[in-house]
Structures are given as structure tokens and as C-alpha cells.
Amino acid sequence: MVELKSDTALAAMREAGRVVARALAAVQETADVGVSLLELDEAARAVLRAAGATSPFLGYRPSFAPVPFPAVICASVNDAVVHGIPDGYRLRDGDLVSIDCGAVLDGWAGDAAVSFTVGTARPEDTALIADARRALEAGIAAAVVGNRTGDIAHAIGAVARAGGYGLPEDFGGHGIGRRMHEDPHVPNEGRPGRGYPLRAGLVLAIEPMLTRGGRDDHRTDPDGWTLRTTDGSRAAHVEHTVAITEDGPRILTLL
């Protein structure tokens, strides 16, 4: 079921989105060579605690998962695309890190992701992250009243394919509101003019995931969560929570 949000609800979601943005900023400030993924998770937890927010990730267990998710961030490094579980791994020079984080504040959710490099960045990683951001920007630009989810998908896919990147099969964005995952699904590739119609009040988490090797297949780690490229190539994941309004798309997960 798709729920259209009122102006009051959008204002509440904007506050949840600010918490997410602050958490992601804290993680990026903490990230450095030698810092563990668990320390990044604690940086995000501290922001959530200070805001009086809870995590929609912590304890989340969808049907595919063998265990509930044990952290407030997904920390995916190098060939991990999404859903990486923070552990004692310590960041190394040149690592490409994707962090996904959510927050629930006053009953409303926000969800966003960033990708960045630690220490000395490889030029190809810098390009990958920049293109992932361009794909996200294209998807957001297509999130207007009168379009459909297929228009968002097409905009993202066009940027990704033009750069020779892969798009993990069956993964994409989603509706969001009182729950982190709501209808409709928002693919990262599709045909324009198809899919669910975009109406004012619809809120979507738009999240391109690009793999540098150009392949769409993937594998899951034994932990049942971490999604990796099958060829070992690096990946980038970026995301914003975006409201569809009569005045155009409104990003809710900015500082």
C-alpha cells in the first residue's frame, strides 16, 4: 500500500532526515586509516542517541536474513555493494567505503547512503563515486509529479550504463514513511513511462548502486547480509530520501 504524506508528515520526515545526515557526516569524520568499522557504527549511534532517534536497521530481519541486523549502519568496503555488517575490520589506505544509515524520529523514518575513500584515493574509485552521485542526481531530477518510477529508473540506468557500470540485479530504492521500506519499489534501471505514478506526497528512497566491473550478478556472504560483486570489482552506493512535491523533488536527508 502506498501512502501519500501530508505537509506535516514531510516536515517530520525532514527532521528524521537531518539526523541521518548528521550521522553520515559523523561517520565520514571518524573514518581514517586504522579505524574499525565498529567505531564507525558507534559514531552513528552517538548521533542517534543525542537526537532521541532510533535505528530502523538495528534488529531488522527481512525474510532473506538468517539473523537480525546487528548495527545502525551498513558498512560495505571495496567489493561489498550493500548490507555490510560492521565488524573489527580496520580501514586501510585506499579503501572505498559505502555507508548506509537510517533514523526514526517521532515515528517517521529517513534513509541515506554515501560512498567515500579513505586515505589515498584511486582515480577509478573517485570516478566511480562521482558517477554514482550523478546517477542519483539524475534519478532525483526525474522524481516529479506526472512521471513514474520507471522514469527515475531510466535516468539512473542511463548514467550507469553510459559509464560501463553494472547495476546489481533486483536491488533499488523504495517508498519510505513510518516504515523504512514501503511501496513502491524503485528500480535502478527501467523503461520511462512505466511503473508507479509519482504524485505529490509520495516519498522515495532513491539509491543507485554501481559496480565498476560492469556485471549485474552478485553473491551473498555467509553472514546472509553482505552483498558482493562476483568479479571482485569495487562498488559505490549513494542514497537520499526524496519527497515528490508540486514544486519538484525535495531532498529530506540533507544537513
pLDDT the model gives residue 100: 99
Residue that the C-alpha cell 540485479 belongs to: 169
HEC string of 66-103?
Answer: CCCCCCCEEEEECCEEECCCCCCCECCCCCEEEEEEEE
pLDDT the model gives residue 91: 99
- Model confidence band, residue 34 (pLDDT cutoffs 50, 70, 90): very high
Per-residue pLDDT of 46-104, as tens digits, reads: 999 999 999 999 999 999 999 999 999 999 999 999 999 999 999 999 999 999 999 99
- Is 111 marked as binding a ligand? yes
Strand 96-105 and strand 80-82: the pairing is unpaired
Round to whole Å and give the CA distance between 82 and 207.
11
- Is 83 marked as binding a ligand? yes
- Is 207 marked as binding a ligand? yes
- Is 41 marked as binding a ligand? no
Residues whose CB falls within 8 Å of the CB of residue 143, separated by 6 or more in sequence, listed in order:
152, 198, 204, 206, 242, 244, 249
- Is 174 marked as binding a ligand? yes
Mean pLDDT for the chain overall: 98
pLDDT the model gives residue 1: 87
Per-residue pLDDT of 175-206, as tens digits, reads: 999 999 999 999 999 999 999 999 999 999 99
- Is 185 marked as binding a ligand? no
- Is 239 marked as binding a ligand? yes
pLDDT the model gives residue 152: 99
Cell numbers given for 129:
563515486
